[in-house]
Amino acid sequence: MSDFNFFLEVLIGGLLSGLMYSLVALGFVLIYKASGVFNFAQGAMVFLAVLSFVGFMELGLSFWAALPVTIAMMVLVGMATERFVLRPLVNQNENTLLMATIGLAFVIEGVAQLAWGVDVRRLDLGIRDEPMPWLADNFGIFVSELDITAGVVAAVMVAALAVLFSTTKAGRGLRAVADDPAAAMSIGIPLQQIWMLVWATAGVVALVAGMLWGARSGVQFALVLLALKAMPVLIIGGFTSVPGVIVAGLIVGATEKLAEVYIGPYFGGGIEGWAPYMLAVLFLLVRPEGLFGEKIIRRV
């Protein structure tokens, strides 16, 4: 196999997993944009979502029955979070809200394991984790079918969310609410409905992300750590930018795989785990608002 094909293989693999990082990071952006909260519980929501999905299937529901049930559940969880955690804390400073979401993360993780147990589950989406024959035969590039499917699903979700944020009524409302809640209400934007929509959407995003990651690496507690993987993506892309986190997800995915393969050997391997954070630190030094983040304008 030629070196170039190998490079492409690593790159494609990296970009595909990058899309999945984008998806997790989008869950954060969604909530950060609308309520200025860094939702520490996003990882826990991913875990709860996919664990419940597998749990419902174990109870005898088919794939297509478990899916809407889990979506409905996540929408309810999102709405309940808005109602019982955020609404009572409205107008509190952002550190208070961050602490609340840390607390929420523990509650969700606890409830999820209490309800469904702590065993590692397998999630079979019926897609083979083997190289796609067409790519392998025609180009000599070996990329897993599961990775490609996950990449495509993530891309569709990301595109749908990008549209939702851009010019739709909800998207405009969301940006307005994020910028100035009092002004947003005065032009007729219902704050609480927007927040509920956002948390419900974040719940659905968490489910999709959880299913994709769960299918690949098993449904287990480690999924909550996905939240940490989203950090460098958010820092590079900017906390408030949808296109930013998409690009940043791709950059992070490609960087970690390429770094592992080409630079890793000099460090004795295993740099995949920290390479993205190094990149994020560099970005913090050079462009703290992220690639597409809103420039912080302060009038003095």
Partner 1 sequence: MMDMSRTAASQADYVTTANRGFAVGGPILELEEISLRFGGVNALTKISFNVLEHEIRAIIGPNGAGKSSMLNVINGVYRPQEGTIKFKGKRLTGMTPPRAARMGIARTFQNIALFKGMSVLDNLMAGRYLHSKASFVEVALQLPRARREETENREAVEEIIEFLEIQHIRKTPVAKLPYGLQKRVELGRALAAEPKILLLDEPMAGMNIEEKQDMCRFILDVNDHYGTTVVLIEHDMGVVMDISDRVVVLDYGKKIGDGTPDEVRSNPDVINAYLGVAH
Name the site residues for partner 1 (rule: CB under 8 A): 160, 163-164, 167-170, 172-173, 175-176, 179-180, 182-191, 294, 297, 299
Rank residues 23 and 176 by Cβ distance to partner 1 and give the closer one.
Answer: 176
The distance of closest approach from Cβ of residue 34 to partner 1 in the complex, given in angstroms and rounded to an integer, is: 13
Closest CA to 233 of 9, 35, 7, 42: 42
The distance of closest approach from Cβ of residue 16 to partner 1 in the complex, given in angstroms and rounded to an integer, is: 24
CA distance 140 to 236: 33
The distance of closest approach from Cβ of residue 221 to partner 1 in the complex, given in angstroms and rounded to an integer, is: 34
Rank residues 114 and 297 by Cβ distance to partner 1 and give the closer one.
Answer: 297
The distance of closest approach from Cβ of residue 210 to partner 1 in the complex, given in angstroms and rounded to an integer, is: 23
Rank residues 172 and 216 by Cβ distance to partner 1 and give the closer one.
Answer: 172
Which residue is it, tokens 């950060």? Answer: 32
The distance of closest approach from Cβ of residue 167 to partner 1 in the complex, given in angstroms and rounded to an integer, is: 6
Helix, strand or coil, per DSSP, at residue 78: helix
Query: CA separation (Å) from 241 to 175, 236, 289?
Result: 11, 10, 10
The strand pairing partners of 167, in sequence order, are none
Q: What backbone phi and psi angles, to 5 degrees, belong to 121?
A: -105, 160
Q: What backbone phi and psi angles, to 5 degrees, belong to 143?
A: -125, 135
Rank residues 189 and 254 by Cβ distance to partner 1 and give the closer one.
Answer: 189
Rank residues 62 and 91 by Cβ distance to partner 1 and give the closer one.
Answer: 91
